[in-house]
Amino acid sequence: MTRLEELLYNLTAVIIRYHDKQSSKPLVVESDKGELRKKVHASAVDIIKSTKTDFKSRLDDLIKASTDESSSTRRHFLKYILHEIIFLKAQLDRKSSYEPEQLDELKKQLSQLFTDFKKLMTTPKSTTCTVHHSELAPKESPAIALSGLINTGYTGGEICNSGLYLNEEVLIPFSIYTNSSQKEINAVAEQISTELQNALLVSELTHKTQQLCTTNSEQQQSLKLLSTQNHELDTKLKEAQAKQKVLLGTILIEKSRAQKREEELSTINFDQKQVISELKQKIVDLSEQASLEELSDSENEGSKRTYGFFGSMI
């Protein structure tokens, strides 16, 4: 629990305790003071965190139930406390961290709040003092006049019930006293503001880290998918290269065979040409030889005829 959250619940406890003191139907019934405060704080947390009932309406009802026209000064005080509760709840519900100027303004408002509480604790009920509504907007906080919390009558303690509850629930837990210096008050406001800012920054960084983790996880899944796809493509490429290698080997073998057949056919063709040439030459030679033989036979036949004619003449 941050100190700001503690301040929020403690201020709520002030309203509850005042209500239970004045009302015939108290929210918490307990004789032991230590146990009473624990139960009051648990009730305060329940009211602030309730999702069924609006805390502003619930606390406003408690204020109305515990005050009337005769106690209007206490009603104004409790309404002032309620306004500060609403302001603190808005800071607690923030999702983003403060800008530097906003953080400085928060410190200023919290410091003013504790200063006003201290002022009320040192002002008699018969006198009013100026206090301020906390606002984070860049403007002066609205000022209101409230009666002090010191008893001026002859009965009762030194401080009234409202002052007693404010002192026990808020000032003492945050080490604010009537003699506290402004420097000490500023230090408390600084601590509360810085702690809240750090909590918001941690929340932002945690959210950003979760987003980055989610993105990183998605990228890892994408990377894993791409790695699988690349592995599959590598396998297909190797298979294709292997098939291509086999195909290339087959083509080279076929080419070698074709080249060998070409060489063989070329040799056969050359040999056949030689044979053809030789045959042609033989044909020519034989043709010439036949022609010569025919001519020789013709000449011999002619000679025989001549000799026979002249022989008969003899």
For the stretch 56-92, pLDDT in tens is: 999 999 999 999 877 788 999 999 999 999 999 999 9
Beta carbons of 82 and 56 less than 8 angstroms apart: yes
Q: CB 296: neighbour CB atoms within 10 A?
A: 10
Say if residue 189 is exposed, middle or buried (CB neighbours under 10 Å; 0-12, 13-18, 19+): buried
Q: Select from 49, 87, 47, 51 the least CA-distant residue to 63.
A: 47
Which H or E element spans position 162? helix 161-166
Locate the domains of the chain by residue range.
3-180
Q: Model confidence over 211-235: pLDDT tens digits?
A: 999 989 999 999 999 899 989 998 9
By 3-state DSSP, what share of the chain in percent is helix, strand and coil, each rounded to 5?
75, 5, 20
**Position with higher pLDDT, 236 vs 6:** 6
| Residue 192 near residue 114 (C-beta atoms within 8 A) | no
Under 8 Å CB-to-CB from 187, ≥6 apart: which residues?
none
- Nearest-angstrom CA–CA distance, 257 and 40: 105
Most confident of 43-52, 255-264, 275-284: 43-52
Confidence at residue 301, expressed as pLDDT on a 0 to 100 scale: 67
The amino acid occupying position 52 is K
Task: Give 289: exposed, middle or buried? Use CB within 10 Å, 0-12, 13-18, 19+.
Answer: exposed
pLDDT of residue 154: 53
Given a cut of 80, whether residue 292 has pLDDT beyond it is no
Three-state DSSP class for residue 143: strand
pLDDT higher than threshold 50 for residue 313? no
Share of residues in the chain with pLDDT > 70 (%): 91
For the stretch 234-269, pLDDT in tens is: 899 998 888 888 888 888 888 888 888 888 888 888
Where are the strands (E) in the chain, listed by range? 128-132, 143-147
What single letter denotes the amino acid at residue 260? Answer: K
